[in-house]
Structure 1
Amino acid sequence: MIRVLIRLESEVERQVSIRAESIRQALAAAQRAYPGSRARVIFPIDGESFFVKGSPAEEKTRGECPSAVGYSRESGA
């Protein structure tokens, strides 16, 4: 199981931490959870938090700790 930070780009940009079996699955989960947003992996990947304990049977692939970046394309702030 891995954990990566994903940047979601839409009207409001945000970052979410996703646990999944692979980076590809993490991106797919982010796109399912936030349709209409462009999902991109944030590099560099933190090696200390990349591998996490757990299995798909113990925990579903899900977003953790969503946090707004504080930028709106409409407001420019």
Structure 2
Amino acid sequence: MRHISNGIAASELRDVSWRKSSRSNPSGNCVEVAGLSDGGFAVRNSRHPSGPALIYTRAEMEAFIGGAKDGDFDDLLGRG
């Protein structure tokens, strides 16, 4: 299998504020998102804050969030 990489060590992202959803559970099973100075976004696993962060453009995040709001991914949870 070919190795595909999109990201950076989250610890290398300086001066960003990581946020997680108010729907996150207290055991830390969630993702965190940070806005970047170029208008993009970084996403990381909250259990591994120094681990990899995936980087997305504003357009990619708008498409994903819009799809989530529209229920496009509900079938992945067995609800659609």
Asked if TM exceeds 0.5, the reply is no
Q: TM-score, normalised on structure 2?
A: 0.24
Determine which structure has more spread, i.e. the larger CA radius of gyration: 2
Q: TM-score, normalised on structure 1?
A: 0.25
